[in-house]
Structure formats: C-alpha cells, structure tokens
Amino acid sequence: MIAEIQSAGANTYVLLQLASRRFALRSAIVSELAPPVRLHTFPHTSPLVSGVIVRRGRIVPVYDVASILLGRSSSVHRFYLIARRNFPGGPEASAIPVSGECELVTAELQEASDSSRPCISGQLLIGDESIEVLNFDALLTSDPAVHNASRRAEAQS
C-alpha cells in the first residue's frame, strides 16, 4: 500500500473504516497502514492521545479519533493508519486506529454538507455513498469533551 500511496495523484484519498463508518484522508499525508502493534500508555494530560506505538524505531503517538467522529472510543481495531500531522515545529507521524482494511480511491472533492465541523474538509461521492474527507490537523486538535457536548446539544435540539 505504501508504494501505491506514494505514486498517487492529487485527487487520491485513502478510505478508512471506523466501526461501521467510512471516512477519507488525502493520500498525500498518509504514510502506511501498520499492523496492530502494542499500544504503550503512560500518564499525560493531552486530550485525544491514547498512547504511543513503536514503528520502524520511531515512537508514534496514537489518537483516539473515534471519540470525535463516532462519539465513543473504538474498542476494536485491526490496524493503525499512520499519517502526517503538521506542527509549527514540523510534521510528526501520527497514528489512528482503524477497524478494517483501507482503500485507495481517486475522486473529486465535493463541498461538505455540514460546514460547521472544521475537522471535515469536504466529501467524496463514491457510488451511492457519501464519504466525509477529514482535515487531519483540525481533527487532531479537536477537544473530545467540547465536541461531544456539541453533539449532545445537536441531538437534543
């Protein structure tokens, strides 16, 4: 998959599975799909970070994005999708647990139906399915507590 991603063009996306839902990430920021190696945890206060994995001699932080995208932590995952998160000090490899195999697709980015969520940069229409494209940097800076509170408010209204 790494070779496929590296040769992919601008309109290519990696489709990832989180529980029963699919999301897309720009392939340009994805580096690999890693096996479910051991998650190492230690005390910290950073929301969304669930621990670290060791991949190719590097320590890679793991983000529990399911708590933002699905409103609950995903207990079952089969792989880690490793993508690049940008920081002012430079990019950093970052892992997100995914539930199934990932797929590389080429499609036109459509405007997002809900512009109020900064972590969604648009959507892809693939067959009958509309798949949200994630803004990886915005997603990883989301605060799960704030996000879930707004989800609850939306559900009640």
Partner 1 sequence: MKIAAQEKGKTRRARHSEQVILFAVANRMFAIAAAAVQEIRSTDSLAVSANEIDHSEILKVRHTLERSHQTYYVVNAGAHFGLPVTRPTLVLILRRLRVAVLVDRIERMAEIVSIHALPLAFAGEERRWYRGLTYIDDHVIPVIQPSGFLTTDEFRCLDRATNAIAAPHLAGAFQA
Contacting positions for partner 1 (CB under 8 A): 38, 40, 42-46, 49, 52, 54, 58-61, 63, 85, 87, 89, 92, 94, 140
Element spanning 25, H or E? strand 21-26
20 or 38: CB nearest partner 1:
38
Nearest to residue 16, comparing CAs of 143, 126, 128, 133? Answer: 133
**Which is closer to partner 1, CB of 85 or CB of 109?**
85
Q: How far is Cα 15 from Cα 112, in angstroms, rounded to an integer?
A: 16
Rank residues 58 and 152 by Cβ distance to partner 1 and give the closer one.
58
Q: Report, in Å, the least distance between residue 48 CB and partner 1.
A: 8
Q: For tokens 């096996």, name the residue.
A: 35
Burial of 105 (0-12, 13-18, 19+ CB in 10 A): middle
Least gap, CB of 64 to partner 1 (angstroms): 12
Q: Considering beta carbons, is residue 40 or 152 the nearer one to partner 1?
A: 40
**Burial (0-12, 13-18, 19+ Cβ within 10 Å), 3:** exposed
Q: In terms of CB distance, is 74 or 126 closer to partner 1?
A: 74
Give the span between the Cα atoms of 4 and 16, in whole angstroms. Answer: 15
CB of 40 to partner 1, least distance (A): 4
User: Which two structure tokens, joined as six digits, stand for 95?
Assistant: 């892992």
Min CB(9)–partner 1 separation in Å: 29
CB of 12 to partner 1, least distance (A): 26
